Structure formats: structure tokens, C-alpha cells
Copies of this chain bind each other. A is one copy, B any other.
Amino acid sequence: MSGAAPGGVLTFGEGLMKLALPPAQRLEELGNLRAECAGSELNVAAALRTLGRPAAWVSGLPGGPLGDWVRAHVRALDVQDLSLERPGRLGTFYLEDHHPPRPSRAVYDREGTAFQALTAADLNGSWLGGRSALHVSGISLALGPGPRALALALVGAARERGAVVSFDVNHRRLLLPDHAAADTYGPAAQRADLTFVAERDAELFGGAEGLRALNPQAQIIVTRGARGSETHLPGGEVITQDAFPTAGPGRVGRGDAFAGGYLHAYLDGGSPREALRFAAACAALKTTLPGDQLRASEAELRAVQAGSETDEPRR
């Protein structure tokens, strides 16, 4: 993959080591862990790539074996690695995966990371060369002044070049207090062509209407978990989509698969209705897989949308 091929997308965000506990286990009984390469914007890049679209990822990583570990994962995902080596840690988080009514839980350990050492001065003019779109998320805006400045600089550069700007609010309550959300994420929401937001996070802006007030032109895509999703169009029309029934170990990352799928269909010229339906199918297939990244072909996604799969093995 040559990286800057036509239709390609650049994503920007932190890479992390997810330390996943065995299902239903609590940190207090910690013993075996599974290390997985994580990061919302890397997941979006991986979703775009599995769908056949060139994708590249800008990040900040430490040197040494832990940074090499992330880089090998990015290569295995066939995503172009544009990460910069910076001093600092590799951020980690522990993830407890529980059955309801016990909530699953992330415990972050992401202070002092290499990613946080990035600044707007790191902006490289070539990153966006030939790309069709940029994808950033609110996580980078919440992680500190350096990443925030670089994210917003990228948004500005993308707009200048006429690239599509995709923004996922992705509010993390353990990183940023609710009261700071609107101010922190607003500058990106104002300039995005596509804004993804979970229903509960939209309330921090006063709902979809609040986001519309910030940005009259964006498609505002509100995800509602098992209750489906909806796209608010600039003219006020709201398109709704049910969630496809699904199950499996892959709840983490389904929002990223959704965003990646929507962006992919949008760049392919799909209508909002088509993009929303395609994104819902991506989220459904992501849920069936372990790990944080979607793997699926367009044919598999068509089958999900057609509802043609049975419970019988293919043999």
C-alpha cells in the first residue's frame, strides 16, 4: 500500500496497550492478562483498511520494545505507520469485561505518555498529501494541550486542502470532566463534515440540536447502542437505522468500526441512509470478533445487511 493513494484517509490518535482481564474477572483477582494493541483512531484506520481503503495513522510512540510492539501491529493491520518517536511511556489500560448488571470497567494508566509529548510543531505538511479525509477524536483533545493543538492543526490543514474532516466526540469521563466537554470538543465539532457522537455524550452539547448550532453543515451521526443510530442532516432531516442483532466478545471498538464504516461509505459516495446502514453492519460484525479492530469484507457486510446469514456453519 503506498499510503497516499487516492481515497486514502489519515487518522490521528494515541496507541495504547490494552491489558484485558479474562471474562468476568475483577482487577482484585488479577493474574492472567491479554495484551492487545488499542487506540480509537487506529481502529478507525484498520476498519477503513479491511474495507479496502488506504489508511495511515499519525501518533507518538516511545522507542524500545513497547513502541516496536505497536509498530508491528500497525504493520500487520496494513495501515501506514506515520508515528513519531517521542520520550515518555506507552499508555496502558486494564479492561474488566463483565456480564450485566455489573458494568465493564476501564482503569486507565496513561499519564506521561509519548503521545502527550506531541505538539502543533510536529505537524508535517506531507501527511495529508493526496488524502481524501482526516479522522480525529475527542480523546486526543482531552489528553493534553500538545495533542489538542496538533489535532486542531490537522483539522485546519485538512480543511485548507479540501479533505473531508471526520470527528468522533468519543468522550471519556475518566479523562475529562463532563463540564469541560463542550469547550474541549467544540472547536473540532465546528469544523467537521461528519460528527459522530454517542447519545449520552450529545447531551453535553444540548443534544444534536446543540451540535447543529455549532456547525450548520455537518452530518451529525448519533449512536444509541442497541437502540440503533440516526443521522441528522443539515436540512433538519433525521434518518434512523436499527442496530443489527449481534453478539460476541467485541463490544470495545464497535463505535470505531461504525465510524470507519460510515466514513468509508461516505467517501464512496453513499447516501446518508446507505452510510448509516453500512456503518451499523460494521458495528455488528465488529462485535462478533475479539480484539479492537474490525475484520470484514464488503461481501460479508452485504450479507449482514441482507439478513441472509443463518445459524448453520458454512460447509
Contacts and interface: CB of A to CB of B under 8 A. Distances in A.
A66 B27 contact: yes
B314 A103 contact: yes
Given A35-B30, A75-B76, A245 B313 contact: no
A31 interface: yes
Given A34-B33, A76-B72, A289 B26 contact: yes
Given A25-B290, A76-B75, A174-B315, A309 B103 contact: yes
Contacts of A111: 89, 112
A28 B309 contact: no
Interface string A274-315: 000000000011011111000110001001100101111111
A32 interface: yes
Given A28-B295, A315-B106, A315-B172, A35 B35 contact: no
Interface residues of A, number: 81
A186 interface: no
Given A76-B72, A99-B248, A247-B99, A290 B31 contact: no
B28 A288 contact: no
A89 B307 CA distance: 32
Given A17-B30, A31-B35, A101-B307, 13 more contacts: A26-B295, A28-B295, A33-B33, A33-B34, A90-B109, A93-B315, A102-B248, A102-B304, A104-B314, A173-B315, A174-B315, A200-B312, A252-B313
